[in-house]
Structure 1
Amino acid sequence: MSGSRQGFGRLREGMARIAYGNPLYAMMLGGRTPASLSCVPPDPWPGDSDSGGAILAGMFRFAGQTVGLDAGGGPAWKPPGASPGWTAAMHGFDWLRDLRAVGGDNARRRARGLVLYWLDHNASWHGQTWAPAVLGARVANWIGLHDFFCASADDAFRARVFDSLARQTRHLARVVPGRLDGLALLTALKGLAYGGFCLPGQERQGMEALRLLERELPRQVLPDGGHLERNPSSQLQALRHLIDLRAVLRTARVEVPESLQHAIDRMTPALRFFRHGDGGLALFNGAREEDAALVDAVLAHADARGRPLKSAPHTGFERLIAGRTLVLMDTGAPPPPGLDEHAHAGTLSLEVSVGKERMIVNCGSHPVDSGPWRAALAATAAHSTTVLAETNSSEVREAGGLGRRPTHVGCERQEVDGAALVVATHNGYAKTHGYLHRRRVYLADNGEDLRGEDTMEPVLGASPAAQPFTVRFHLHPLVQATVIQQGAAVLLQMPGGSAWRLRASGGTVEVSESVYLGTGDEPRRTSQVAVTATAGPEAATVKWALRRERKTA
């Protein structure tokens, strides 16, 4: 299946090269060059001045890779060995905000120089650098950041930029939606809307982007406001794209469709749903913590009220909160094929934070989300859940996506007097091993008593072979773990001074090494608590309890 998919991919690339990578097609993209933009939408998003400083120094660090200037003293637009993520980031021009964050004429001149260098070396179609999502990001960034790098430039520079924008928009209109889906399609539609409504004479493309967007929103934005990819980082980016699209329409004096406004209104509480107390996001399905300042900015500019949901049944997550304790739990099936490129085998995993401090986490994801990094971090064992026979609950493909996966994930929730109980089950091990995984999680009303049960239950009518299983609790790097009570419990010391006791029965408790990649490019060393047991013909259960230690006088 994977080989045939790659074969079809190569065939499509070859056909696209024939269709678009020839001089005749380049001539077809020509047309009247706009003398100016008809409108410039606001760009309120923060940049990273440290990253901008690195770009000024000639270092381009994206997607976990750093590339310097080429032999000619310019950026290497297509360096050997660059990952698709690096290439997409480099050619998408989000980093213009980082230069803007540095400020000053030097940063502005560097931005112009890099755009000019791109025009000199990338004016014609290329499969990666003119991919619809990359192109959409570039068009939106060049227009949205016009006032930073282009407004005060000379006429010759501005003419080249506007001519290229018109050509790129015409190409985008020809290839969208194509086979795009999910966040990538929203990115491309955003670029088409920017080009259509901000470049004179391109209004027809803008209206087509709006038509496609209205068709796509009911599918991608689920009734509870979650995004179809089930990835908190994708939730953030999708909401940001919709806010930008609304801003373009308002600036161009085009009526904002009710479906767009309603999608923003629903997605905003859903984004709050995924936030821990430190302001960052939970690490499910390849998400990163993200910059808390960016999350704040997106929520502020969404201008939509709504408290975080307790339950997101359509997206498949539960949120338990009491006192200062927050529990987030993945209780849904993985995203469907085609939208699972970054998905993880973390069904029924949970994360726990107390106040602004993360305690129990998933391991996260590496910016180079392929190969060994993906195999390790997308594995079930890299999540705070149960793994049977060291086998992933969903098949993880190193090149991206999932193969075999749970076909059913059930969840029930009860609340009584401020306490909450969630019971969820998945059948990811049913066909491979003959077992169901059932997890019960209870949070008391004071938030200082969290209890759980993880059961490996034979499928009805099956007599599966005995198998080892392990319940894992990965800890944030700032949490210190010490085995106590002759190995029956683990004391978790939080950075703020509080302590929690994790006890377990039904298995052997040990503390071992783990890694954390919620932020940055390098893994941080941390610990995990693992409870190992054996499943047999009868259901086997590991019970665990996490309680805050009371200080004694």
Structure 2
Amino acid sequence: MSISGYNIRNSIAVGRSKISFSTKSFVYQPDPYTIGSSQRGAQLKNGLFLFVGHLIESPDTSIWDINIPNSKFEKELHGFCWLDDLAADGSKFARDLVKEWFWEWVDKYGNGSTWTPQLTGRRVVRIINHSQLILSKASAQQKKIFFKLLGQQTNFLFSRYKSETSNLKRLEALNGLIYCSGILRGKKYFLNSALRKMSREASRCIDANGNVKTRNPEELFNILAMLSWSASTALKVNKVALKKHQEVMEFLAINIRSLRIGNGGLAHFHGGGRGEIGYIDQILSGIVLPISKIKMNSTGYYRIFKNRTVLIMDVGEQFMKSNSNFSASSFELSTGYEELIVNSGPGALFGDEWNNISQTLHAHSGVCVANVSPSNRRTKLIPKAEYTSDLNAEIILSSHGGYTETHGVIHNRKIRMSSDGCVISGLDTICSESAHQRDIFDKWIKSKNENSMPFSAQFHIAPDVEIKWNNDNTKIILETLKGVIWVFEVLNGEISIQDSAFMQFGELSPRAAKQVVVSGTAIDYQGNIEWKLTKH
């Protein structure tokens, strides 16, 4: 269907949504399911509007009056996630802005001119969650308009959810429909049908291993959150989510649990952020799971946990396209509740340029050959990985051929964590394993007029960690805010400290950070570097 046809049908559905019985109240008082960022709330109060990588500085301006840079930015506004952030701020000024900006939206867009199923599903959840705030000191007429609009959006979702082009978009539209159907008086007749459709779309959103195509941990969690909200809504009106719905929730919860670093945030891979830790706790606490130690989940990540030291490595499928992340054999490491070695994070928060940077292997704690990230000649690459353990250590062995077509080498990585979690050692090797790979290696050497091939392992250090050389400049000392000290040393290779950047939700720009870089060279088709981290 063309975009114009899609919009026309949306407009027709908006008109029809007004011809039905209007709801006038809630069946029960809503609890806020969504948790925002107080940091983002403070920014909004000060006229700093950062959405999809564009920062608009416009103090004392309504969110509906700022200059909109593109349609993606505009869609973020109409999804109303900023309501969560203002509510998280909680100040009187923020609460006043919630009411002011909501009623301005009603005046400008309450006629349905910008409604789409996905954004409407997202929006109604936030409106209902913060309804007490919105309706505080509202007049009788305003309350009537409030419920009338919620009823119309419910009708719109029922008629148009299936027009969305992806399973994830349909899932978000259905989540809004279920929430409205359960809580709005007079709309319960939509609920059974919506729950059946939600179960079907949930199964389609993930593969047989409980993974999404992007392998983005935060996206995976967002699906779990929507399934949790809808199941909770059904329960409050004496309905039960279908068995398949509950099975998908449990499957996702197991995977999400194994993707959390020490502070409870999600690992930074494939464009995903940390998420709101309290929010993740809230969702997972409502799902009963068997107590088990998970070393690898079916989404292609290994997880080692010893004595509050957590290491998560990406050994899953890599999509080698221009708009995809490449993070094969890279890892993140946390000590207690503090981050130590990280990946740079989701660059899409700060625009296209940072997004492009964040997708490369350079932005991950992995290994780069000849200072380049693997090319996008192939559609996908599947690393090989193996986990072993004994009484003294747990070991991850991984390898990938992201450089075989361009440089003729395979990267092999061996990471070992001691049984007490106090020593992490690594061996990174690049080598040519076949005659064809050696030919490519030779051609690269000849084209560069070199006698060796350089490669390096980069270890991005969390921005709150102090980094400095020891007295004789042979080792690097890493000290966390809580005073935990780790010493980084190289057994084979050259070590240096270089600039880096760290990207996270809530910041207006990437944070300055540092990285430890260990360099080596491959001569006669092979080279290796060896490093060790020791907790003191």
TM-score (norm 1): 0.83
Is 1:493 aligned with 2:506? no
String of CA shifts for 1:201-238, please: whole Å, max 9, x gaps.
Answer: 65564444322322233344566655554223223322
Alignment of 1:63-82 (within 5 A): 63=52, 65-67=54-56, 74-76=62-64, 79-81=67-69
The code of the aligned residue for 2:269 comes to F
Instruction: Look up the SS of the partner of 1:95 in the other structure.
Output: helix
CA RMSD of aligned residues (A): 3.4
| CA positional deviation for 1:43 | 2.1
The code of the aligned residue for 1:94 comes to C
Aligned equivalent of 2:133, options 142, 148, 161: 148
Aligned equivalent of 1:422, options 396, 399, 403: 396
| CA positional deviation for 1:421 | 0.9
| CA positional deviation for 1:413 | 0.7
Q: Which residue of 2 aligns with 1:90?
A: 77
Q: Distance in 1 between matches of 2:78 and 2:181?
A: 20
Q: Which residue of 1 aligns with 2:27?
A: 39
The code of the aligned residue for 1:376 comes to I
Q: Distance in 2 between matches of 1:506 and 1:406?
A: 32
Is 1:311 aligned with 2:290? no
> Structure 2 unaligned runs (5+)?
446-452
| CA positional deviation for 1:406 | 3.8
The code of the aligned residue for 2:102 comes to V
Higher mean alpha-carbon deviation, 47-56 vs 453-462, is at 47-56
Alignment: residue pair count: 522
Q: Which residue of 1 aligns with 2:108?
A: 121
String of CA shifts for 1:435-480, please: whole Å, max 9, x gaps.
Answer: 3222111111121221112222325341222443221111112333
Q: Distance in 2 between matches of 1:109 and 1:288?
A: 30
Alignment of 1:278-293 (within 5 A): 278-293=263-278
Instruction: Look up the SS of the partner of 1:430 in the other structure.
Output: coil
Q: Distance in 1 between matches of 2:292 and 2:499?
A: 34
| CA positional deviation for 1:500 | 2.8
> Structure 1 unaligned runs (5+)?
1-10, 396-402
Q: Which residue of 1 aligns with 2:448?
A: none
Is the CA contact 1:322–1:419 (under 8 Å) kept in the aligned structure 2?
A: no
Q: Which residue of 1 aligns with 2:5?
A: 15
Q: Structure 1 residues 175 and 152, CA, compared in 2 at 3 Å: closer, same or farther?
A: same
| CA positional deviation for 1:319 | 0.8
Aligned equivalent of 1:271, options 226, 245, 256: 256
- Percent identity, please: 24
Higher mean alpha-carbon deviation, 241-250 vs 254-263, is at 254-263
Q: Distance in 2 between matches of 1:204 and 1:461?
A: 68
Alignment of 1:502-521 (within 5 A): 502-519=488-505, 520-521=507-508
Structure 1 runs (4+) greater than 6 angstroms displaced? 68-71
Q: Structure 1 residues 485 and 505, CA, compared in 2 at 3 Å: closer, same or farther?
A: farther
String of CA shifts for 1:518-542, please: whole Å, max 9, x gaps.
Answer: 3523222221111223345523222
Q: Distance in 1 between matches of 2:167 and 2:513?
A: 33
| CA positional deviation for 1:314 | 1.7
Instruction: Look up the SS of the partner of 2:173 in the other structure.
Output: helix
The code of the aligned residue for 2:420 comes to N
Is 1:30 aligned with 2:18? yes
Q: Structure 1 residues 296 and 180, CA, compared in 2 at 3 Å: closer, same or farther?
A: same
Is the CA contact 1:49–1:98 (under 8 Å) kept in the aligned structure 2?
A: yes
The code of the aligned residue for 1:15 comes to G
Aligned equivalent of 1:238, options 217, 223, 229: 223
Is the CA contact 2:13–2:156 (under 8 Å) kept in the aligned structure 1?
A: no
Q: Distance in 2 between matches of 1:542 and 1:223?
A: 38
Is 1:358 aligned with 2:339? yes
Is the CA contact 1:228–1:335 (under 8 Å) kept in the aligned structure 2?
A: no
Instruction: Look up the SS of the partner of 1:432 in the other structure.
Output: coil
Q: Distance in 2 between matches of 1:105 and 1:225?
A: 43
Instruction: Look up the SS of the partner of 2:406 in the other structure.
Output: helix
The code of the aligned residue for 2:6 comes to A
The code of the aligned residue for 1:112 comes to K
